Amino acid sequence: MMKLTPKRLGWLKFTLHVLCFSPIAYLVYLVLTDSAGGDPVQYLIHFTGMGGLNTLVATLLVSPLAKWLKMGALLQTRRLLGLYVFAYACLHIGAFISLDLLFEWTLLFEEVIKRPYILLGASGFIILCLLAVTSFKQVKTAMGKRWLSLHRSIYLLALLVPIHFYWSVKSEIIEPSIYVAIFAGLLWLRKKQIKQILLRR
């Protein structure tokens, strides 16, 4: 089996940067050329939301792949992918607040109360913020065991995000249902870890 040397890991990270950033560049192109569909605001919100979903799937795939391929070095890509999840979530939330709500903060609180899927999304974003802020090595060292406990909240995120997507659609539920199944599978692969966390509480 091919060994993931530091040089190959560097190329892999570069490839992941390209793959994760390319959709953002494409979205900018669509906006600048006025090609973002009949409702560009909803297109932006949906596009960035899907970007967050897909990068979260990729992040959660790293550990099972590293174990299956026996490539522990793959785990070094999780932080990179996780930060892209955060970046897409920021764009998603930013588009919703600025373009859809026009910075009407009172309306935002009303929407959160009225629409449970927005509350789920906001909860997931708070978790992402905590994970992003504590993703640096210095913070990890300073937090010790608490860091691992916090970063296991990605399992909760993997529940909130697909449900947020499922509840947000009005009619077409096939795509969100597929994502619910994918995340369920990714959590099932971690059933032992999740069971240990629940037993400790």
**pLDDT for the residue 1:** 55
Burial class (CB in 10 A: 0-12, 13-18, 19+), 5: exposed
Alpha-carbon distance of 142 to 17, in angstroms, equals 28
**pLDDT for the residue 133:** 94
- What digits encode the pLDDT tens for the residues 106-137? 888 888 888 899 999 999 999 999 999 999 88
**pLDDT for the residue 37:** 85
Q: What are the phi and psi torsion angles at 37 (to 5°)?
A: 85, 180
Task: Give long-range contacts, CB 8 A cutoff, 24+ apart: 19-25.
Answer: 20/55, 20/80, 20/81, 20/84, 21/84, 23/47, 23/51, 24/51, 24/87, 24/88, 24/91
For residues 88-106, b (16+ Cβ closer than 10 Å) or e, as one string? bbbbbbebbbeeeeeeeee
What average pLDDT does this structure show over 136-164? Answer: 92
Average pLDDT of every residue of the chain: 92
- What digits encode the pLDDT tens for the residues 59-68? 999 999 999 9
